[in-house]
Amino acid sequence: MEHPDSNPEDLNSSIWVFGYGSLCWHPGFDYDKSTTGYVKGYTRKFWQGNDQHRGTRDNPGRVATLVQEPESIVWGRAFLVSGKSAVPYLHTREGTLGGYKTSFEQFYPKDHSDQSSSSEDGLSETSQPIRTMMFIACPTNSMWLGEAPLHEIANQIVSCKGPSGHNAEYVLRLAIFMRENIPDAHVHDPELFTLEIMIRSRLKEKKIPLHVIMGEEAPSDSTSNASSSYQDDLDVRPVSRRSFDFTARLPNKNLRCVNIN
Ligand SMILES: N[C@@H](CCC(=O)N[C@@H](CS)C(=O)NCC(=O)O)C(=O)O
């Protein structure tokens, strides 16, 4: 892990940013291209508290961070950003408001190879690893919640919501993104998908309709049938694996606390 002091980002040049939480399905900034892939030596945990997007000061939600784990990898999505507004936006969203710190790691595109690649942005048929900036929550930040049994984390997530929506939406959309875009996603991150099952089960027990959690309109058939059974199948239309149509299908909502201008 490199630290930014040795490599201040030059706002006039392009930079790759790695996302592994809401950035996968809700980047919130313009980018030139993006691709899926992974970083090595980390595991994804829902150990960072959040009262700006998915919780409140009195009832903070849990969002993703990375914890170092030598033999693990974390799949996510990298973005090539060149605009001057993306990096300041991310520092505000992730750093100032989210308690995350900047670090730099090697990102391995899903089609990477150790062969040399001449492309200027590092992406080509046989892409080499790419140096990316990412945002990681450290245990010393004021919102850190840390480790807890997964069932307790599931209970907390199901009971939290904030200005950007329900905490359960945050986890479910990440799980859906991974399942739809990462090969064998469940193999690489069993904890994410176990948490997804726990959350879905608790929502079903509480009879909380998924469209409410996901901030979507009620499915058309549920309005016609008053006694409709619990809607536990997300209206997830087939997504193209080519260009992340996934994000195009999300309800168009800006992060209320941070507006990119
Ligand atoms: N840094 C991680 C996590 C980012 C993240 O989830 N940040 C939260 C808290 S600051 C956020 O922006 N949430 C927006 C939302 O929940 O819609 C990533 O690369 O995706």
Residues 88-99: pLDDT tens digits? 888 888 888 788
Rounded to the nearest whole angstrom, what is the distance from the C-alpha of residue 67 to the centroid of ligand 1?
A: 15
CA 87, 90, 92, 98 dihedral sign is: negative
Q: Which pLDDT value is given to residue 229? A: 45
161 lines ligand 1 (CB under 6 A): no
Of 52-61, 69-78, 94-103, 225-234, the range with the lowest mean pLDDT is 225-234
Q: Which atom of ligand 1 is nearest to the CA of 136?
A: 1
Q: Which pLDDT value is given to residue 236? A: 40
Catalytic residue among 9, 69, 71, 94: 94
Q: Which atom of ligand 1 is nearest to the CA of 258?
A: 12
Give per-residue pLDDT as tens, 136-166: 999 999 999 999 999 999 999 999 999 999 9
Q: Which atom of ligand 1 is nearest to the CA of 22?
A: 6
Secondary structure of 34-71 in the HEC alphabet? EEEEEEEEEEEEEEEEECCCCCCCCCCEEEEEEEEEEE
pLDDT at 260 over 90: no
63 lines ligand 1 (CB under 6 A): yes
- Answer with the residue of higher pLDDT: 241 or 138: 138
Long-range CB pairs of 231-239 (<8 Å, 24+ gap) are 232/200, 232/203, 232/204, 234/172, 234/176, 234/210, 235/211, 236/176, 236/180, 239/180
Q: What is the pTM of this model?
A: 0.82
- Answer with the residue of higher pLDDT: 67 or 246: 67
| Secondary structure class of 181 (helix, strand, coil) | helix
Of 25-39, 160-174, 225-239, the range with the lowest mean pLDDT is 225-239
Per-domain residue ranges of the chain:
8-243
Distance, in Å, from the CA atom of 33 to the CA atom of 14, rounded to the nearest integer, reads 11
Q: What is the CATH number of domain 8-243?
A: 3.10.490.10
C-alpha torsion angle, residues 226, 228, 231, 234 (rounded to 10): -80
Distance, in Å, from the CA atom of 214 to the CA atom of 203, rounded to the nearest integer, reads 12
| Secondary structure class of 24 (helix, strand, coil) | helix
Q: Which of 43, 53, 87 to mutate to test the pocket of ligand 1 (most atoms within 8 A of CB)?
A: 53
Distance, in Å, from the CA atom of 129 to the CA atom of 30, rounded to the nearest integer, reads 22
Residues 6+ apart with CB under 8 A from 222: 209, 211, 228, 231
> CA dist 6 to 9, 86, 110, 243, Å?
10, 20, 28, 34
Going by alpha carbons, the residue nearest to atom 17 of ligand 1 is 164
Rounded to the nearest whole angstrom, what is the distance from the C-alpha of residue 95 to the centroid of ligand 1?
A: 10
48 lines ligand 1 (CB under 6 A): no
Nearest-Å Rg of the Cα atoms of the chain is 18
Q: What's the whole-number average pLDDT of the chain? A: 83
pLDDT at 108 over 90: yes
Q: Which pLDDT value is given to residue 90? A: 85
Active site residue 94: yes
Identify the CA nearest to 151 among candidates 107, 199, 112, 79: 199
Q: Which pLDDT value is given to residue 238? A: 35
- E strand or H helix at 185: helix 185-188
- The residue whose two tokens read 């992406």 is 123
